[in-house]
Amino acid sequence: MKKIVFGNHDENTLRQFNNCLSYGNVAGGVLCADGHYGYSQPVGGVVAYDNQISPSGVGFDIACGNKAIKTNLKLTDIEDKLPVIMDDIQKAIPFGIGKELKNHRNHEIFEDPLWTTFLNIGQHEHDNLLATARAQLGTAGAGNHYIDILVDEKTNDIWIGNHFGSRGFGHKTATGFMNLAQNRGFLDNLPRQSMEAAPILFDLPSELGAMYYNAMTLAGKYAYAGRDLALNKVLDILGAQSLFEVHNHHNYAWKETHFNKEYIVVRKGATPAAPGQLGFVGGSMGDISVILKGIESNKSRDAFYSTVHGAGRIMSRTKAAGRINWKSKKRRGGLISQEKMDQAVKDYGVELRGGGPDESPFVYKKLNDVLCEHVGTIEILHVLKPVGVSMA
């Protein structure tokens, strides 16, 4: 079995990673330098299976990923208008759990034949997921999901980028298949799961395995469509044109050939980085983002051509922001105050809309530090500094 760990990790993360490698037909595993404790499989964890797929490994936010666009603008074209631009982005794109657009979109994604996958489960399940997908296409999530305006540190070119996945449609899909694996109804509420839960595995040729793979593929197409729509809106707000685009998932399972054999490579919070393959990786709201490219090496082969998807958390949301009092709607006990976060982001030169202490720069590693752990597997092509950040 191939196994490689980049960087240093806490005991819980390492135990969870090793536990994943002890279930199923595992060919190898990777823990990227931004890895941290997650549900069942650590974020930043990669597991390669022989003819099996893991819905718990892909996770609840199926096809979460990043898109970046290089525009035809320079920083001098927008810097005086940045506050208004950020206001317009915040108004145009709904952020948060369950957020919907007022006018549902017609889009070719809803004509995809893979929707029949859910008809095999039931008409009600199909209609429920389709309605959720229609309502949320082009909206962004909560937490660390964002839309950024970025500037290339060398050329002053303006880039735009975003980070979110398949929204409520993906979450319901993941929950549904985990329910089916445990003999519950597809749309049942999933009982509270232990973070230490063993991986859920389907043999790919099985009925559930084939249906999950098709459903995941559809969620991937949906996530791509949503990220496209959101950034097209930002282009319109900027009055800009797209010159170059980079687009990738990091919560997904790919059929890939490694060491002369096809495997299912499940990446949770990890970016595919085959030789020549481009990826967009974001840091925190007070840190750089990068466009990178995979390179060929013994280390990159052993890593199943995988790299980081972000900087990696070093502090939980609760520890950073405290616990919320649902009566007063105020948080208490957090280590990071809103004022401390706002000052840090302002000092970094970012025009921020939304965002809370649980997503502040203080809760993440520095992106450059984790990228350095992957030296010899990737090449950094562009270093991008945020000048505008929009979040929930």
pLDDT of residue 104 exceeding 70: no
Within-domain flag for 349: no
CA–CA distance, 257 with 10 (Å, rounded to integer): 31
Q: How many CA atoms lie within 13 Å of 96's alpha carbon, on the beta-carbon side? A: 11
Q: Read off the pTM.
A: 0.96
Total number of domains in the chain = 1
Q: What is the mean pLDDT of residues 238-251?
A: 98
In a domain, 166, yes or no: yes
Token representation of residue 143: 């937490």
Residue count of the chain, please give it. 392
Residue 343 in domain: no
Provide the domain limits for residue 152: 2-314+364-391
pLDDT band at 39 (very low <50, low <70, confident <90, very high): very high
328 located within any domain: no
* Residue 379, beta-bridge partner list: 293
Cα–Cα distance, 1 to 26 (Å, whole number): 7
* Cα 304 → chain centroid: 19
pLDDT in the model for residue 327:
67
Q: What is the mean pLDDT of residues 376-384?
A: 98
Q: Which pLDDT value is given to residue 74? A: 98
Dist CA 57 CA 201 (whole Å): 9
- HSE-CB for 75 with a 13 A CA cutoff: 14
Considering the domain boundaries, does residue 351 fall inside one? Answer: no
Question: Which residue type does 108 have?
Answer: E
Residue 321 lies in a domain: no
Predicted pLDDT of residue 333: 85
| 339-370 tens-digit pLDDT | 999 999 999 999 999 999 999 999 999 999 99
Q: What is the pLDDT of residue 329?
A: 65
Cβ atoms of 295 and 375 closer than 8 Å: no
Sequence-separated (6 or more) residues with CB below 8 Å from residue 279 = 66, 246, 248, 271, 272, 273, 291, 292, 293, 294, 307
Question: Which pLDDT band holds residue 193 (cuts at 50, 70, 90)?
Answer: confident
Token readout for 351 is 């025009």
Query: Which residues pair with residue 352 across a beta bridge?
Result: 389
173-196 mean pLDDT: 95
Q: Domain holding 81: CATH number?
A: 3.90.1860.10
Per-residue confidence band for 238, with pLDDT thresholds at 50, 70 and 90:
very high
Domain assignment of residue 261, yes or no:
yes
* Nearest Cα residue to 358 out of 374, 378, 335, 376: 335
Tell me, yes or no, whether 322 lies in a domain.
Answer: no
Calculate what percentage of the chain has a pLDDT beyond 90: 94
- pLDDT mean across residues, the chain: 96
